Amino acid sequence: MKLTTAQFKKDFLSEIETLYSTSLDDTTTIGQFIALGQLVRRYNSQSWTRTAKLYREHHQKQVYYFSIEFLPGRLLASNLLNLNLLSIVRKGLKELGLDFETISRSEPDPALGNGGLGRLAACYMDAMASLKIAGNGNGIRYRYGLFKQVFMDGYQVELPDDWLHHGNVWETRRDNKSCIVRFGGNVWLQPQPDGSLQAQYENTDDVLAVPYDVGIVGYHNDITNTLRLWSAELPPSVTQTYYSQAQRDRISEISKVLYPDDSNSAGQQLRLRQEYFFSSAGVQSIVRDFCATHHGMRSLGKKIAIHINDTHPTLVIPEMMRLLMDEHHCSWDVAWTLTTQVMSYTNHTILQEALETWPIGMFQGLLPRIYQIIVEIDRRYRAQQTPIFGKALVDLTAPLGNGQVRMAHLAVIGSHSVNGVAPLHTELLKTDVLRGLYQVYPERFNNKTNGIATRRWVQLANQPLSQLIDQTIGSSWRRQPDLLQTLLPYQQDDHFLHQLAQVKLTNKQALAAYVQRTMGIKLRTDAIYDVQIKRLHAYKRQLLHVFEILREYFVIKDHPDQPVVPRVHIFGAKAAPSYHYAKAIIKLINVVADMVNQDPVIGDRLKVVFIPNYGVSIAELIIPAADVSEQISTASKEASGTSNMKLMANGALSLATYDGANIDIMQAAGAENEYPFGLRVHEVYDYYQRGNYRAAAFYNGNPELKRILDSLINGTIPGIPTVGREIYDSLIRYNDEFFVLADYQAYVKQQQQISQDFQDQPTWQQRALANIAASGHFAADLAVARYADDIWQVPHDRLN
Ligand code: 26M
């Protein structure tokens, strides 16, 4: 939009005046943020209204992205970037004596997600708006987001994240779009005079679902899509006059807090209530909108696509069946055809413990009508497929089995498309996790490699790099990230490589200043910044990284006068509060950090910083400063990874196993520009099959490794008698479930190579550039365009 600096200043001061009835110098930073947010909303309000109208008038097919998590990060800067107002606002505020960055940092970071899954959903919302796809998000407005992490005595302590304390400037509550979601009670099918059956309910627990809409601004295209987050409230009192305190609590509980687990199926009833709550509310509002503009249901499959982000929203399938049959009088067959036309499903994990199942007893009690429908889906599936595939395979793949509702099976059976998030991951779905269903529906399976919002992760997070790229190849890459490829010839340009190194230095200085200010640790900016940022999980093997730190520590202690290449090891990671082992590793990292950082012999040659409360905003600070990207999961366990993509786009070299999208990154940027190592998937699977993995053999066969492991239990690392023993036992007594010891040697070898290579800065920067230049492959815009073409079948803007 068009706006002069003078007009902006006038508008901002008037916004302050209207909101606070006082002058600018009498406001707080958060107050200034709220005023600025309101103003941005006002600037964008026409676009939001117009977009809805545009889609309606063009009868555009709507995509609804259902996700139990959205992790958008702060929205002020990204909205201004997309509205092309960032520099005007920056300048205007400066002229008013204010600093944009300071104001921006006061915005709460909505942590309505755990990690990769929720962040991916947010990147895809941004991409859909930028591609002019009629894309809608559908999720839960958690009153408390993911816990705030603090360390006390090196242990993780969780504090509530009261992100709505000052309200949320970006949301609009829409009472007129509320709907009722039913739980529990009894249901029966009542024959009607016309011969049809009508579902009748009694003694249900009704919950009012109230939507809060957030505008998702497209990049320089006057499009604003909607992210709809549902909040649970008491229904209006016409239906019931009295609610006991227990009933009130049970209702408000539903959208009170995000489950902090990202790798385990919690199996708790509240989780199931959350899942049905936003699935039902979302489908009801979709069908309601559809009916307002269409006659009958016939064209539903042509006008609507519903995407199921992991199994958590799978109940959209039986909920759609329920609405079509019970409310819109479709036959089973018509309803089923429409439902499967509309639905598609993305799987995000092959970890067995993360595959959701619900005990039938619990499920039936909570969702009796939905359960009836699943029983019928199961019956028909068995009847149809048994003659073709036999009873054994059908038992294995049916929606119901072993007394459980199997959500992934229901998702595959009720969708027309199932995708994994990296080529390897999709192969493993076909051959392992969903093998049986792949036999039944081979044509449904496809791959969609993950992508990231380059706008946030490069343009906003790394402005020095973005400016350098602009100066070098012009600014079209900002709209078309694949143009980053044209940077590759500058590998031969010494001046450019020098500037690239300067950019990295600037970003390291910013991170070092943050670490100094918040943790009191002084970091050299000429060290290798070696970064591992992701949830804490045994399969992600932060432990392997710790072993490298201990190795480096012993090298210096043994040979204090030998020169070493200085390193800073940076961690960011939250552990699920109930994940005891992950918390033990957090304690270990913190204790090792203290030991290393305080040792005068070590000095500034080796530092370890575990930055607390890792999340989107801290990632934006760390990623641009990274030299090395640790992507060291056990081969086969990481579905894709996305921090690997964000780090490469910012010029970090990957130290990576042959897992998830690491493989594709190596292919795109050239393996010679990364540090691959470790077991391949087939080797991991061979160990499983033969049962011949012996961790102790690696321990006994490698004195350096033995010394490191022994240091966990012999007092060398102080203050971890229990934690050290637990970790040691997990490796030696319980045979190292994730093959840390098997990969140790190869990992260390690459780490040593890194230390050597880093000293040749021009060559290092050439390789950093190869990563930046190849990162356009992993732009969310490209990934979402493929979803649009292959799965949703919706039109989108061309990417050039
Ligand atoms: C399930 C049940 C109960 C409570 C929580 C959950 C749950 C929540 C989040 C389970 C899994 C959740 O997220 C999984 C996840 O983040 N997977 C990651 O998805 C990324 C995007 O596709 C991939 O890049 C990562 O490899 C994958 O681990």
Report how far residue 149's alpha carbon sits from residue 536's, in angstroms, rounded to the nearest whole number. 12
CB 628 within 8 A of CB 387: no
Q: The tokens of 147 are what?
A: 């816990």
| Burial degree of 694 (CB within 10 A; 0-12, 13-18, 19+) | middle
Kindly state if the Cβ of 70 falls inside 6 Å of ligand 1.
Answer: no
599 CA → ligand 1 middle, Å: 38
Tell me the C-alpha to C-alpha distance, in Å, between residue 623 and each of 52, 565, 767. Answer: 36, 21, 17
Kindly state if the Cβ of 640 falls inside 6 Å of ligand 1.
Answer: yes
10 Å Cβ neighbour count for 388? 10
pLDDT tens across 719-771, in order? Answer: 999 999 999 999 999 999 999 999 999 999 999 999 999 999 999 999 999 99
Mean local confidence (pLDDT), 365-382: 98
Residue to substitute in 274, 348, 426 for testing ligand 1 pocket (most ligand atoms within 8 angstroms of CB): 348
pLDDT tens across 423-436, in order? Answer: 999 999 999 999 99
Mean local confidence (pLDDT), 305-325: 98
Active site residue 348: yes
Tell me the C-alpha to C-alpha distance, in Å, between residue 636 and each of 89, 203, 426, 442, 663. Answer: 46, 47, 11, 21, 11
Mean local confidence (pLDDT), 310-335: 97
Give nearest CA residue, ligand 1 atom 24.
641
Mean local confidence (pLDDT), 34-47: 98
Greatest distance between any 2 Cα atoms in the chain: 94
ipTM field: 0.97
Kindly state if the Cβ of 351 falls inside 6 Å of ligand 1.
Answer: no
231-254 exposure pattern, b = at least 16 Cβ within 10 A, e = fewer? bbbebeeeeeeeeeeeeeebbeeb
- pLDDT of 240 higher than 70: no
The single-letter DSSP state of residue 236 is P
Calculate the average pLDDT of the chain: 97
Rounded CA Rg of the chain: 27
CB 643 within 8 A of CB 665: no
120 CA → ligand 1 middle, Å: 10
- pLDDT of 264 higher than 90: no
- Under 8 Å CB-to-CB from 217, ≥6 apart: which residues? 44, 47, 78, 79, 82, 83, 129, 223, 224
535 CA → ligand 1 middle, Å: 10
Residue in the block written with tokens 């092309």: 84
pLDDT tens across 193-211, in order? Answer: 888 888 999 999 999 999 9
Active site residue 56: no
- Under 8 Å CB-to-CB from 552, ≥6 apart: which residues? 564, 567, 606
Full-model pTM: 0.98
Provide the pLDDT confidence category of residue 239 given band limits of 50, 70 and 90: low
Active site residue 777: no
Index of the ligand 1 atom closest to the CA of residue 639: 26
Report how far residue 134's alpha carbon sits from residue 223's, in angstroms, rounded to the nearest whole number. 9
pLDDT tens across 78-123, in order? Answer: 999 999 999 999 999 999 999 999 999 999 999 999 999 999 999 9
The pLDDT of residue 243 is 86
Q: The tokens of 546 are what?
A: 């710790």
Q: What is the DSSP string of 303-323?
A: HEEEEEESSTTTTHHHHHHHI
Provide the pLDDT confidence category of residue 242 given band limits of 50, 70 and 90: confident
Q: Which of 119, 534, 569, 605 is catalytic?
A: 534
Residue to substitute in 147, 262, 264 for testing ligand 1 pocket (most ligand atoms within 8 angstroms of CB): 262
Residue in the block written with tokens 């699943």: 374
Residue to substitute in 65, 66, 117 for testing ligand 1 pocket (most ligand atoms within 8 angstroms of CB): 117
In 3D, which of 358, 366, 158 has the Cα closest to residue 268?
358
406 CA → ligand 1 middle, Å: 17
| Burial degree of 329 (CB within 10 A; 0-12, 13-18, 19+) | middle
Report how far residue 347's alpha carbon sits from residue 345's, in angstroms, rounded to the nearest whole number. 7
The pLDDT of residue 241 is 66
